[in-house]
Amino acid sequence: MRKAVEIINLVKKFGNFVAVDNLSLDIYEGEIFGLLGPNGSGKTTTLLTIATVYKPTSGDVRVFGYSVVRDGDMVRKLVGMAFQEPKALGIDKPYDLLMWHARMVGYSAGDAKKVVREVMDSLGLWEHRDKYFYQLSGGTRKKVEIAKVLIQRPRVAIFDEPTAQVDVISKHVLWDAIKELRKEGSTIIISTNDMFEAERVCERIAIIYRGRLRAVGTVQELKDSMPYGDVIELSVAGKDIDVSKVLEILNSFGRVSVNGSTFMVYVNRGEEKAIEIVDALRRRGITISRIMVKEPTLDDVFFYITGAKLKEE
C-alpha cells in the first residue's frame, strides 16, 4: 500500500508547550483515517502541520513523498483542508466564496458554476447561497467550509471535526459526501472527538492524547486490544438449571458473573467465543435461550488506554 501521508517524529511546540509530541503515523492512499482525541490533544495542530499552515518544530510530514518543510508548494497542491473554525476570507456570501475557491483550485468559469451548484445542492446549501456569512448558523457555515474541499477534490482531503455543531441529519449527509469523495480517489483524514463518527466513518483510527499517539488500528483492532473487553451475556433454557454445571463450563472461557438466570462471560474476541460456548453447552445437554455479545465502545477503549474520558459526561 502506498503512503499518502507520512508523519515522521513530528514535534510541534508553542513556546515551551509541547502540543504534538514525537508523533509518527502512516496514512495510506485511499483510506479514511481518523484522529480521535479529546479537546487539546493536538489534532488540529497535527492537521495544520500536514496542510503547511504550521511548520514542524522538529520532524517532518511527507505528502506523497513531498516534505512540508522543503516542498511546501507541492504539498499545498495535493492537500485541501476544511478548518475547524471556518473563515470567510472577506467574501460575504457562500456562493461567491465557493465560486472564488473553485476558480482558485483550477476550474474554468463554466465548470466552476457546475461543480459549485452540484456540491451546494448535495449539502443543502443552495438556499443559503446569497445570505451573508454572519446570517448563517454555525452548522451551515461549517457545511460551506466542507463544500470547499468537496469542490477541490484534493489528493489528500482533511476535515477538522467536520460535524461538530451539525445536526444529526446533516451529519449523515456530510459523512456520505466524505465517503463519496474518497470513492472519487481522495485520501481522507478527519479529526473527531465523537466515537460514533469515528466508528461510522473511519477505517483506521489513531488515538491521540496530550500530543502523543496512544494506539492505532481499525476499530475492530482497537476493540480487540482491550483485554476481556467483550461481554457474552446468555440465559439458559429450562426450569431447574444446574448453575454449578453451567459455571463449570463457562469458567473455562473467562471470568463469569451470574445475575439470576443470566450469565456474563468476560472474554477476548467475543464473536468467536460465543460460538464455542454454544457448542460446549450443547454438548453437555444445556440449551441456551438467549445469547448476545457486547463489544466495548471506542469510549471504553479510549478510557482503557489513556485513563481519560473522550468527553465530559
Helices marked H in the chain — which ranges? 43-50, 72-78, 94-104, 109-122, 138-152, 168-183, 195-201, 219-224, 243-251, 270-283, 298-306
Binding residue for ligand ATP, selected from 163, 186, 187, 193, defined by CB under 6 A = 193
- Between residues 40 and 72, which has the closer beta carbon with respect to Mg ion? 40
Round to whole Å and give the CA distance between 211 and 181: 29
Point out which span in 12-20, 151-159, 220-228, 238-246 binds ligand ATP (CB under 6 A): 12-20
**Rounded-to-integer distance, Cα 254 and Cα 257, Å:** 10
Residue 19 interacts, among Mg ion, ligand ATP, none and using kind-specific CB cut-offs from 5 to 8 Å, with: ligand ATP
Q: Which residue is nearest to Mg ion (CB)?
A: 44
For Mg ion, which is the closer residue by CB, 44 or 140? 44
| Under rule CB under 6 A, residue 142 binds ligand ATP | no
C-alpha to C-alpha distances, 122 to 147, 183, 309, nearest whole angstrom: 9, 16, 35
Q: Is 14 in the site for ligand ATP (CB under 6 A)?
A: yes
Closest CA to 31 of 155, 150, 197, 122: 155
What are the cell numbers at 36?
Answer: 480521535
- Cα 63 vs. chain centroid, distance in angstroms? 20
Q: Report the partner that residue 185 touches, choosing among Mg ion, ligand ATP, none (CB closer than 5 to 8 A by kind).
A: none
Only one of the segments 14-22, 56-64, 81-89, 218-226 lies at the binding site for Mg ion (rule: CB under 5 A); that segment is: 81-89
Q: How far is CA 206 from the centre of its chain?
A: 8
- The yes or no reply on residue 163 touching ligand ATP (CB under 6 A) is no
Cβ-based nearer residue to ligand ATP, 198 or 267: 198
> Looking at 4, 7, 27, 44, which residue binds Mg ion (CB under 5 A)?
44
Burial of 170 (0-12, 13-18, 19+ CB in 10 A): middle
Q: How many residues bind ligand ATP (CB under 6 A)?
A: 13
> Measured between alpha carbons, how far is 109 from 91 in angstroms, rounded to an integer?
18
Q: Strand 156-160 relative to strand 79-82: parallel, antiparallel, unpaired?
A: parallel
Of 88, 98, 82, 87, the closest CA to residue 159 belongs to 82
Cβ proximity to Mg ion: between 44 and 187 the closer is 44
* CB 127, min distance to Mg ion, A: 29
Number of residues binding to Mg ion, judged by CB under 5 A: 3
Q: Rule CB under 6 A: is residue 40 a binding residue for ligand ATP?
A: yes
- From 42-50, 150-158, 214-222, 279-287, give the range in contact with ligand ATP by CB under 6 A: 42-50
The residues of the shown chain that bind Mg ion, judged by CB under 5 A, are 43-44, 84
The residues of the shown chain that bind ligand ATP, judged by CB under 6 A, are 14, 17, 19, 37, 39-45, 84, 193
